[in-house]
Amino acid sequence: MGAQVNVQEAKTRLSELLKRVEAGESITIARAGRPVAELRPAQPVAPVFGGLVPGLVVGPEFFEELPEDELSRWDGTP
């Protein structure tokens, strides 16, 4: 679950909250501490590598397990 904000805070900080939602966060809006609505991305957010290079998207193959010979080259084991 993401952050929870009250209605007044959501009204005051809507632009900031929308930036957070665009980055993939979900935000619950509550009235008197009771959740009444949720701000969430309209479509899935693609993973961005490091967030430093705009437009650079990492595909699902990046997260696949590496073969043993590749792993050994990274950790220095023979």
Residue showing tokens 């595909």: 59
The boundaries of the domain holding residue 66 are: 3-75
- At residue 48, the pLDDT reads 57
- Rounded Cα distance, 2 and 19, in Å: 14
Q: How distant is the alpha carbon of residue 7 from its chain centre? A: 23
Tens-place pLDDT, residues 14-61:
999 999 998 888 999 999 999 999 999 887 766 655 556 666 777 888
- Domains held by the chain: number: 1
Cα separation, 8 vs 21, whole angstroms: 18
Output the domain CATH number for residue 11.
3.40.1620.10
Residue 17: count of CB within 10 angstroms of its CB = 19
**For residue 77, what pLDDT band results from cuts at 50, 70 and 90?**
low
Cβ proximity of 27 and 19 under 8 Å: no
User: Could you identify the residue written with the tokens 């501490």?
Assistant: 33
